């Protein structure tokens, strides 16, 4: 069992009134992943609040201020596991002012759960979440139409929402969308099939999560190995060992393969691969390994190893979609540090082409200033070359962050196209 | 060959990546070593990350003076075997310097004082980052932790003002005097840690396995009898077959009755049992947000 058990990372966005916390609470509770002492505690609090049933939303309770305000402020990570999968939930707030948190939560996700209140249908927040999911190239969307109990578990109500969602999502770059009618409060179609919605023939939420295929999301074609740091050993039984530590971001590498170092384009061959359990003959993404080469080259942190017949593109200018994360405003002409894989280079924002209006998702070409939570299309000028792929082909070599040199804050995150 | 990692291999690859980032981005990082299973696993991962070279970090142990002798013995054997430098910061020294005031009262302990000793030890040894075994599944405040977690010049955590951490682009830049905490096993659960210990055959202090020991029961907690335990009038000393689920100092580490004497038996027991890992930690009981409050002050 353990041999094949894998990890699925998914994100949820929403506010308390959507029933997001209740949905996650229900998922954990019905999967029997909540320890009895926590159940007892939440039961006591629920009683104190005068509720007749346990308030499942309390299981995902957060920081002091969040409890006081009844909202999620930051991304919270939660975990549960079934026989064949470990799940990592990036639980994020859904309001406009937390766009950046949604972006963060979506960055590592294989799937996104979009919650729709059956009484309200597709609303602005639904569109925003879906847009962010497509922007970050999340492969799978699971649309949960929640609170079905409040619309008499009506098939028509569900189908109407499905169709209005499809109207708008056709424009988004999402590979796979599934719709599930649920009631998080009553536990319908979350872990257990609903008896009240016998018209629904599809899978429950848990079954869907357990069976999403994520194998094809790892790019095993384009070998990309950003060097984290050299490892040099010359003591005891290990003489004159010189290797490069890193994580394979994509592709496969074997002992004997010819590789190219970027920048510089020097060629060499793989002499040895040190894996987690000693030397190995081949390695693949996302393994952390150390590579020893047949030649002594000058390689340092930030260099990228590729195959000579499959190189990343050298660029000194970037066209990218960025999300402005900081409360610190964008200052035209100011130089930032651009961090791409393990590499850093100085960069300047040359122009803002347009900013998305996050309420209407329409491009605003008039605006040139950037504020917290803005998602914009920009052009950057770099002080030196970096080696990139388009984000849709390779998330690791297609993404970057912008850091302020003075405050050291991460100001913006970007996707290269 | 299938080009697919299982969940433990993926967690391991992620943790090793984080350890190497800490090595590359900080000048003088250390591993915060408590003698508990999580910091032992982090140390094991560090040995792998830099193989065949040595671990390039010192181990920093914050010593409350109320240790289990088994922990100290294990610590000393491990550091000798791995040939790493051990730095010990003593709460007692902070008390002598009067930077820490010893708590009083029937439930006094030195848990909170550790935060101050930690900051003092980091400063006097020039450590700019401390790598620890904290996990997001442990507690609600920890659920919001970054892999690279910023601390201001006073060692404080500002949970509402954390920088974004996106993809796996960790930003370890900081101003003079500021520090980071680094959590390579953030995404591991308690069960993941045990499954990994089993798979890798990692040695642990004997305290984790069932043994007989004189204990006192206080409410739902079982505490080991020791010279450091402030005795209550109602205490009754009983010999119990117990093991520890988390190991901190002797005065706060709650024991549980158990006959699990191997890692496999512990895993089986954990799957059966239905109690939070820290449910037995006297320090977490003080208030609903006690962990969050302590973390803001610089607690790990």
Q: What ipTM was reported for this prediction?
A: 0.94
Query: Is residue B29 located within the same domain as residue B138?
Result: yes
**Does B289 score more than 70 pLDDT?**
no
d(CA B276, CA B138): 8
Contact assignment for A274 to B8 by CB distance below 8 Å? no
Contact assignment for A215 to B10 by CB distance below 8 Å? no
Query: Closest Cα of chain A to B24: distance in Å?
Result: 6
Size of interface A-B (CB pairs under 8 A): 167
Residue range(s) defining the domain that contains residue B253: 195-285
For residue A89, the chain B residue with the least C-alpha distance is B187
Query: Is residue B177 located within the same domain as residue B199?
Result: no
For residue A401, the chain B residue with the least C-alpha distance is B169
Query: Is residue B101 located within the same domain as residue B205?
Result: no
Contact assignment for A339 to B274 by CB distance below 8 Å? no
d(CA A110, CA A214): 7
B 161-220 residues with CB below 8 A of A?
Answer: 162-169, 171, 173-175, 186-187, 189, 191-192, 195, 199
Query: Is residue B174 located within the same domain as residue B28?
Result: yes
Which residues of A fall within a CB distance of 8 Å from B162? 74
What would the DSSP string read from start to end of B107-130? T--STTHHHHHHHHHHHHHT--EE
Give the count of domains, chain B.
Answer: 2
Residue B32 has what pLDDT?
Answer: 96
Q: Please, are residues B33 and B75 in contact by the beta-carbon 8 Å criterion? A: yes
d(CA A215, CA A348): 37
Residue A315 has what pLDDT?
Answer: 97
Contact assignment for A86 to B7 by CB distance below 8 Å? yes
Residue A235 has what pLDDT?
Answer: 85
**Mean pLDDT, residues B237-266 taken together:** 89
Residue B294 has what pLDDT?
Answer: 62
Which residues of A fall within a CB distance of 8 Å from B272? none
Residue B191 has what pLDDT?
Answer: 93
Examine residue B117 and state whether it is found in any structural domain, yes or no.
yes
d(CA B247, CA A415): 44
d(CA B263, CA B271): 12
Query: Is residue B182 located within the same domain as residue B229?
Result: no
Residue B93 has what pLDDT?
Answer: 85
pLDDT band (50, 70, 90) for residue B115:
confident
Per-residue pLDDT of chain A (417 residues; tens, 9 = 90+): 446 899 999 999 776 567 888 899 899 999 888 888 888 888 888 888 888 888 888 877 655 555 555 545 678 888 999 988 999 999 888 777 788 888 889 999 999 999 999 999 998 889 888 999 999 999 899 999 999 999 999 999 999 999 999 998 888 888 799 999 999 999 999 999 999 999 999 999 999 999 998 877 889 999 999 999 999 999 888 888 999 999 999 999 999 999 999 999 999 999 999 999 999 999 999 999 999 999 999 999 999 999 999 999 999 999 999 999 988 888 778 899 999 999 999 999 999 999 998 878 889 999 888 988 899 999 999 999 999 999 999 999 999 999 999 889 999 999 998
Residue B292 has what pLDDT?
Answer: 63
**Does B3 score more than 60 pLDDT?**
yes
Examine residue B269 and state whether it is found in any structural domain, yes or no.
yes
Query: Closest Cα of chain A to B108: distance in Å?
Result: 25
Query: Is residue B71 located within the same domain as residue B11?
Result: yes
Q: What is the pLDDT of residues B30-62, one digit of tens each?
A: 999 999 999 999 999 999 999 999 999 999 999
Examine residue B1 and state whether it is found in any structural domain, yes or no.
no
Q: What single DSSP character describes residue A369?
A: -
pLDDT band (50, 70, 90) for residue B174:
very high
Contact assignment for B13 to A79 by CB distance below 8 Å? no
Higher pLDDT, B295 or A406: A406
Residue B281 has what pLDDT?
Answer: 55
Residue B179 belongs to domain with CATH number: 3.40.50.620
- CA angle at A103 for the pair A353 and A69, rounded to the nearest 5°: 120
Query: Is residue B182 located within the same domain as residue B212?
Result: no
Query: Closest Cα of chain A to B249: distance in Å?
Result: 23
Contact assignment for B136 to A229 by CB distance below 8 Å? no
For residue A45, the chain B residue with the least C-alpha distance is B288
d(CA A345, CA A368): 24
Examine residue B2 and state whether it is found in any structural domain, yes or no.
no
Q: Residue A66 in 3-state DSSP?
A: helix
β-strands A85-93, A140-146 pairing: unpaired
Residue from the list B16, B171, B279 with its beta carbon closest to the beta carbon of A37: B279
| Architecture of the domain delimited by A6-217 | 3-Layer(aba) Sandwich (3.40)
Which residues of B fall within a CB distance of 8 Å from A413? 164, 166-167, 169
d(CA B225, CA B214): 6
Largest CA distance in chain B: 64
Q: At what angle do helices B7-25 and B190-200 cross, to 10 degrees?
A: 90
Which residues of B fall within a CB distance of 8 Å from A287? 5, 9, 13
Query: Is CATH 2.40.30.10 correct for A225-306?
Result: yes
Query: Is residue B184 located within the same domain as residue B199?
Result: no
Residue from the list B143, B175, B274 with its beta carbon closest to the beta carbon of A78: B143
Contact assignment for A35 to B195 by CB distance below 8 Å? no
Domain pair A225-306 / A313-416, same fold: yes
Domain parsing of chain A, residue ranges:
6-217, 225-306, 313-416
B23 touches chain A (CB under 8 A): yes
Which residues of A fall within a CB distance of 8 Å from B173? 337, 403, 408
B66 touches chain A (CB under 8 A): no
Q: What single DSSP character describes residue B152?
A: -
Superfamily of domain A313-416: Translation factors (2.40.30.10)
Examine residue B224 and state whether it is found in any structural domain, yes or no.
yes
Query: Is residue B215 located within the same domain as residue B97?
Result: no
Which residues of B fall within a CB distance of 8 Å from A274? 51-52
β-strands A282-284, A252-254 pairing: antiparallel
């Amino acid at each position: 069992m353990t041999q094949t058990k894998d990890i699925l990372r998914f994100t949820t966005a929403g506010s308390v009134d959507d029933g997001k916390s209740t949905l996650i609470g229900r998922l954990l509770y019905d999967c029997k992943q909540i320890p009895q002492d926590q159940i007892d505690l939440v039961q006591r609090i629920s009683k104190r609040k005068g509720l007749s049933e346990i308030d499942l939303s309390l299981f995902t309770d957060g920081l002091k201020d969040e409890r006081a305000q009844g909202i999620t402020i930051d991304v919270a990570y939660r975990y549960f596991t079934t026989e064949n999968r470990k799940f990592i939930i990036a639980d994020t707030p859904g309001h406009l002012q937390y766009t950046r948190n949604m972006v963060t939560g979506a960055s590592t996700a294989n799937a996104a759960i979009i919650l729709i209140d059956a009484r309200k249908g597709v609303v602005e927040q639904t569109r925003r979440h879906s847009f962010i999911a497509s922007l970050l190239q999340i492969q799978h969307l699971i649309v949960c139409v929640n609170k079905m109990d409040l619309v008499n578990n009506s098939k028509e109500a569900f189908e109407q929402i499905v169709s209005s969602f499809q109207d708008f999502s056709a424009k988004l770059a999402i590979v796979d969308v599934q719709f599930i009618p649920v009631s998080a409060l009553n536990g319908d179609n979350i872990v257990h099939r609903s008896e009240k919605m016998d018209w629904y023939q599809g899978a429950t939420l848990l079954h869907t999560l357990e069976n999403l295929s994520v194998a094809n999301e790892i790019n095993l074609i384009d070998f990309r190995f950003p060097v984290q740091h050299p490892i040099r050993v010359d003591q005891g039984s290990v003489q004159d060992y010189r290797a490069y530590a890193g994580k394979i971001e994509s592709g496969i590498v074997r002992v004997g393969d010819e590789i190219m170092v970027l920048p510089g384009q020097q060629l060499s061959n793989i002499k040895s691969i040190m894996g987690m359990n000693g030397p190995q003959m081949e390695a693949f993404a996302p393994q952390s390994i150390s590579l020893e080469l047949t030649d002594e080259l000058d390689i340092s942190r930030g260099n990228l190893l590729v195959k000579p017949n499959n190189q990343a593109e050298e660029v000194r200018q970037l066209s990218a979609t960025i999300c402005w994360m900081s409360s610190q405003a964008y200052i035209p002409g100011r130089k930032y540090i651009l961090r791409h894989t393990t590499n850093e280079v100085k960069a300047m924002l040359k122009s803002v082409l347009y900013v998305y209006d996050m309420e209407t998702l329409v491009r605003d070409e008039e605006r040139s200033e950037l504020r917290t939570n803005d998602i914009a299309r920009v052009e950057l000028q770099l002080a030196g070359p970096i080696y990139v792929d388009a984000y849709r082909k390779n998330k690791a070599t297609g993404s970057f962050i912008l850091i302020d040199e003075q405050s050291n804050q991460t100001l913006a995150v970007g996707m290269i196209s | 060959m299938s080009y697919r990692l299982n969940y433990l291999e993926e967690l391991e690859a992620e943790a090793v990546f984080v350890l190497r980032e800490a090595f590359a981005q900080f000048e003088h990082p250390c591993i915060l070593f408590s003698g508990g299973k999580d910091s032992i696993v982090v140390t094991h991962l560090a040995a792998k990350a830099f193989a065949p070279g040595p671990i390039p970090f010192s181990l920093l142990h914050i010593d409350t003076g109320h240790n289990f002798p088994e922990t100290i013995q294990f610590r000393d054997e491990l550091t000798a075997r791995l040939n790493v430098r051990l730095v010990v910061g003593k709460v007692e020294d902070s008390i002598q310097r009067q930077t820490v005031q010893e708590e009083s009262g029937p439930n006094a302990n030195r848990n909170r004082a550790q935060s101050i000793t930690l900051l003092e030890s980091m400063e006097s040894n020039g450590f700019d980052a401390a790598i620890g075994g904290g996990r997001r599944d442990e507690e609600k405040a920890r659920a919001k932790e970054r892999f690279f977690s910023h601390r201001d010049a006073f060692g404080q955590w500002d949970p509402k003002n954390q920088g974004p951490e996106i993809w796996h682009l960790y930003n370890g830049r900081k101003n003079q005097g500021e520090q980071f905490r680094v959590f390579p096993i953030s995404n591991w659960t308690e069960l993941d840690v045990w499954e990994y210990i089993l798979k890798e055959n990692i040695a642990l202090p004997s305290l984790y396995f069932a043994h007989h020991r004189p204990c006192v029961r206080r409410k739902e907690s079982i505490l080991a009898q020791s010279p450091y335990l402030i005795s209550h009038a109602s205490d009754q000393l009983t010999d119990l077959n117990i093991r520890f689920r988390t190991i901190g100092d002797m005065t706060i580490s709650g024991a549980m009755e158990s006959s699990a004497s191997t890692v496999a038996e512990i895993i089986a027991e954990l799957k059966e049992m239905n109690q939070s890992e820290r449910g037995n930690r006297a320090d977490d009981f003080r208030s609903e947000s006690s962990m969050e409050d302590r973390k803001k002050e610089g607690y790990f």
